[in-house]
Amino acid sequence: MAESVEQALPAPRPEHLEVPTTADQLLTLRKAADLLGWTVPQYVLTAALDRAERDLYEQSTPAPPTLPAEALTPYTALLTPTS
């Protein structure tokens, strides 16, 4: 019986991301990661993904329609007290 082709394929390698930081920035990240019991890469990846998902959601949500001022005039007239 022939060998499976999948055995000959190399294992997928994870992608790497390098971010230059100052010593103070790295210290802040280490302190925050330590508070949660995480590594710095775990902390940074989680925070970056959270922000990315939020930005993608906000950009995919359509803005509410805006009405011209003259369209609001009848409603404003009803709310304006008369003397």
Q: How far apart are alpha carbons 33 and 45 in whole angstroms?
A: 11
On whether the pTM is more than 0.95, the answer is no
- Which residue segment(s) compose the domain that 33 sits in? 22-56
Count of the separate structural domains present in the chain: 1
**What distance in Å separates the CA atoms of residue 6 and residue 74, rounded to the nearest whole number?**
70
C-alpha to C-alpha distance for 6 and 64, rounded to whole angstroms: 50
- The pLDDT score that the predictor gives to residue 65 is 76
pLDDT, tens digit, for every residue of 21-71?
999 999 999 999 999 999 999 999 999 999 999 999 988 877 777 777 666
How many other C-beta atoms lie within 10 A of the C-beta of residue 32?
Answer: 14
**What is the distance between the alpha carbons of residues 14 and 43, in angstroms, rounded to a whole number?**
17
Within a domain: residue 33? yes
Say what the pLDDT of residue 2 is.
52
Answer for the pair 21, 29: CB distance below 8 angstroms, yes or no. Answer: yes
Residue 45 covered by a domain? yes
Q: How far apart are CA 25 and CA 32, in angstroms?
A: 11
